[in-house]
Amino acid sequence: YDRSDALGFCCTTRCYNFIHSWQLGFAEYKSSIVLADIADNEVNEVEIPALGVTRESGFKLFTSFARSSTDPYMVLSYRFTDQGFDKYLAGNQDYANTVQIHHWDGDDIGDAQLTFLLHSVKLGQTVLIQDTDKTSLRIDTGFKLTFAKTGDTSAIV
């Protein structure tokens, strides 16, 4: 389960991760990325607006070419604590000011599937993205993410 979210009881004041914020109507996806479309050794820079500051703040990462709504996918979001609702995460060393990568097996806004926090990446860190399938096996996607720098209210990865 995902302890980075109100439903996982991360904090005294409950802050929803991007997926649950989207389900509740507080956030929208800014864009989607199909990982299979990215060439080997290709470098892409993505600016992720802060959740709770900018409504369109999440990136959906599809792991297949199909882009079907029923395909499993991952979500990138930025938990910024200087502004917005995530200010209540300030002082939380695991989740404050991090780029989070979640997996979700849900199909639509009303789906009650659990979210899985795959990575919580701090400024300057690089991770090899490992996804989690429905049997909780860690799957190497072959993609790296580096939290390179911050904007005023965004993360650049």
Q: Is the pLDDT of residue 58 over 70?
A: yes
pLDDT at 115 over 90: no
| Phi (first) and psi of residue 26, to 5 degrees | -90, -15
Return all residues near 15 (Cβ < 8 A) that are at least 6 apart: 5, 6, 52, 79, 85, 86, 88, 89
- The mean predicted confidence, pLDDT, of the chain is 82
Q: So what's the pLDDT on residue 70?
A: 61
Q: Which residue has the higher pLDDT, 84 or 29?
A: 29
7-51 pLDDT, tens per residue? Answer: 445 555 566 889 888 988 889 999 988 877 877 777 889 999 999
Region 46-60 average pLDDT: 93
Provide the pLDDT for residue 120: 93
> Residue 75 class from Cβ within 10 Å (0-12 exposed, 13-18 middle, 19+ buried)?
buried
Per-residue pLDDT reduced to its tens digit, 126-142: 998 887 665 566 677 77
Single pTM value for the model:
0.84
Residue 8: φ, ψ to 5°: -100, 5
Contact 97, 79 (CB under 8 A): yes
